[in-house]
Amino acid sequence: MLVSESPLLRLAIGRELASGFELVHTLGTASADRRLDVSALPDALVIDLDTAERSGVPAFLVRLVERGFTGPRILVSSHFRPELAAAYSASCHTHFALARPWRPGALRSLVESVLGVADARRAAAGGR
């Protein structure tokens, strides 16, 4: 599930993840809450922190815990420095950070890694 008010960010993320992932777009945390209320929990969330409703994101993350969501949360922001985002991602099991703009393929690689998709593909390819 992609949580972002920005049409350009939703488009960029959609392009990078379109092949291989089913993406549910939401227009911010209120829209994401409504979607989560009526459907199953997604495997992962990509959350745009560069949003007008930035102050609502912490409360949204708390509601995810209350819902029992245990999947990864990928936090995307232009305020992250790439080195710190990578260090943060390496130190946590549920929250991951990605600096904007990211290198082509970086988001896809991060999503595959946190979902274990890359490991499954390597195993299916014979460990190459």
Other C-beta atoms lying within 10 Å of the C-beta of residue 112: 18
Taking 60 as the threshold, does the pLDDT of residue 56 lie above it? yes
pLDDT classification of 39: cutoffs 50, 70, 90: confident
List, for residues 62-80, the tens digit of each pLDDT value.
999 999 899 999 999 999 8
Contact 16, 98 (CB under 8 A): no
Structural domain total, the chain: 1
> Which structural domain, as residue segments, surrounds residue 86?
2-124
pTM, rounded to two decimals: 0.85
Q: At 36, which CATH number?
A: 3.40.50.2300
